[in-house]
Amino acid sequence: MIELGERLESVSAQEALAWGLETFGDRLAIGTSFQAAGMAIVDMAARLRPDVRVFTIDTGRLPLETHDLMIEVERRYGIRVDVIGPDPGEVDAMVSRHGPDLFYEAASKRMLCCEIRKVRPLARKLATLDAWVTGLRRGQSAARAEVRKLEIDSANGSIVKLNPLADWSSEQVAAYNRDHKVPQHPLYAQGYTSIGCGPCTRPPMPGQGPRSGRWWWENDTRKECGIHFTPLGKVRRDVDILLEEIAGAVAIRS
């Protein structure tokens, strides 16, 4: 796998994606939140394989514009986006215990919300696959600087994680989408540079990084939800405690 990974580092994004589609077939799917890089991946894949599988996580707090773009993607490419949602019982227990906007109170509560609304639904989806494709790029943030085109997703059953755009710049993504007239998220026109849940996303301030608009009230520069990178230290321990409380509440209700 190391040798294969090194070989894929030297090929184009389209070639890396074509390898994944050919190798894994229907056991591979693209996971996307319909941001610029993810849209480039969807467009590339649809050109290589029109029946490519695409899924997204609907957290229940997405902007309306994200839902509108999802519909446009289905119409443009003739595919059905598989929409994955969180467990209703877990969401109800979390909201009943901590309120709907718990993420503003502490980093651990924000990570709890991400865990229940995004990470756990993703894990359930990935358990049905042998490989998945993301739009991760090294230039997005310091936390993503070591992303490789081919990785083993040890957090999700050691399936293959393919990041064809790992070595692309934001300018390359923009050029691809412009040249191929790829549909773009409407919030980009309002100054957004990274788009997630509605309450947790805003345009960055002048001079700030592209992911600074995510969870802007937190001082920690590690702007991640836990899907691609797991929080370390005290925050992780606090999240585990909060998850145990939610699990207990769900068990009582059932």
- For residue 225, the number of C-alpha atoms closer than 13 Å in the C-beta half-sphere is 23
Distance CA 87, CA 85 (A): 7
| Amino acid in position 10 | S
Kindly calculate the radius of gyration of the chain based on its CA atoms and give it in whole angstroms.
Answer: 18
Distance CA 146, CA 109 (A): 27
Q: Residues 31, 173: contact at Cβ < 8 Å?
A: no
Alpha-carbon 154 to chain mean position: 16
What letter would DSSP give residue 63? Answer: -
Distance CA 67, CA 59 (A): 11
The burial of 234, by beta-carbon neighbours within 10 Å (0-12 exposed, 13-18 middle, 19 or more buried), is given as exposed
Element (H, E) at 82: strand 81-84
Contacts for 153 with CB less than 8 Å, ≥ 6 apart: 126, 132, 159, 160, 161
Supply 207's token pair: 């001079």
The burial of 60, by beta-carbon neighbours within 10 Å (0-12 exposed, 13-18 middle, 19 or more buried), is given as middle
Q: Among all residues, which ones are annotated catalytic?
A: 225
Q: Angle, nearest 10°, between helix axes 64-77 and 36-48?
A: 20
